Structure 1
Amino acid sequence: MSSCVHSRTRNSHKHWTTFRGPNHFHRRYPKVKVRLVGLNSLAVAESVLSGEIEAGLIVLPVAEAGLQVRPLFRDEVFYVSATRSPTRGPVTIEELTESKLVLYDAFAGWQDPTRRQVLERARLKGLKIDPAIEVEHVDTALGLAATGAVDTFVPQATTKAPGFPKNLRAVPFAEPLYDTIALIQREGAYLSPATRKMAQTAARTLLARVTPEQDVQRSLPS
């Protein structure tokens, strides 16, 4: 039995909520095990490397050794706050390190791709980031930020999704920060026909919802 996994990452999970392919796909390939899960990108990459799953949808960067990586699109990350006015301009890394933050993906911690990027920027300036609160889910972080007690940062897709708190304002970073969404498989591994078809469907679904400037690779999995 083949196994195909696409991770519903926090950057693209709102896109995936409208993806109705699994039902149709399962009827067409009843012997293929399909799993749509919400693991962090780090865990998905490890599962692909171990051979537990054939393919996955992740956020870069992750350790790419042993992986075939196909970038699809990028999504800008924004600082979100109920109290900081956008009229103050973009958020610098210095301001971020001084802010009271709630960060999500607590299990992955600083191995999370987005958090790693932010941490590296802070370290280059000799600064550190010490969140006041860490939670697992982005919706929990947004709920806490909406109280005005803490701020956070999320991808643009999240700020445009239904349910995003109306009192939160999104501000870009002074040095723009991006998540890159990619499809991965184990290097040299053969994708089963069903998994390849699923990957193509997923890529088309996601790319149909991004702007041309977000699209970093037009080609679909072969």
Structure 2
Amino acid sequence: MTEHKIPRATAKRLPIYYRYLNILLDADKTRVSSTELSDAVKVDSATIRRDFSYFGALGKRGYGYDVESLIKFFKKILNQDRLTSVALIGVGNLGHALLNFNFHQDGNVRISAAFDVKDSMANTVQSGVPIYPMTDLRKQLEEQQIEVAILTVPADVAQQVTDETVAGGVKGILNFTPLRITVPKGVRVQNVDLTNELQTLIYFLEHYNNLG
């Protein structure tokens, strides 16, 4: 993502800052303080200042941060100054929802190819995205030089599909399956377990419901 060596927690917050800065720009806001940013993104101002300090002097004491300058900086840091093509593997209910999701709204990302085992789905176009049979997975990943994939296949085939995806040159996987997939060194996985997140939310509601 960046040449700077920064903590993982900071890296996860950068897209949040970038998204809100774009909202400010749309509202014709020219500058913002760490306190204002803190109120909006629910991250304490000291943490925001520390996060920004990893990249040098991004603001001025008493002035705050220039919104447009920050957007340009984070756009480059987050590789939003170039189009990133992503593969969607598995076009079930969740896959369909992701096909219809407007990734361009918050970043320069597009799903350029999708793959599914169903014959009725293969060789069609859904939401403007071509759907290929799984037998073409490695070939298309290599030809289109896709390095990022979203995995929404059943858990029992997740590792097998992952192996084929990595063989096709993918370096980053957003894993929506409940299986914790294994990848070689140099390939990064981000796990998104919706069931786990929902169960965690319910647990906190049951056991930590006294917010006062």
Bigger helix fraction: 2
TM-score, normalising length from structure 2? 0.26
**Which one has a bigger Cα radius of gyration?**
2
TM-score, normalising length from structure 1? 0.25
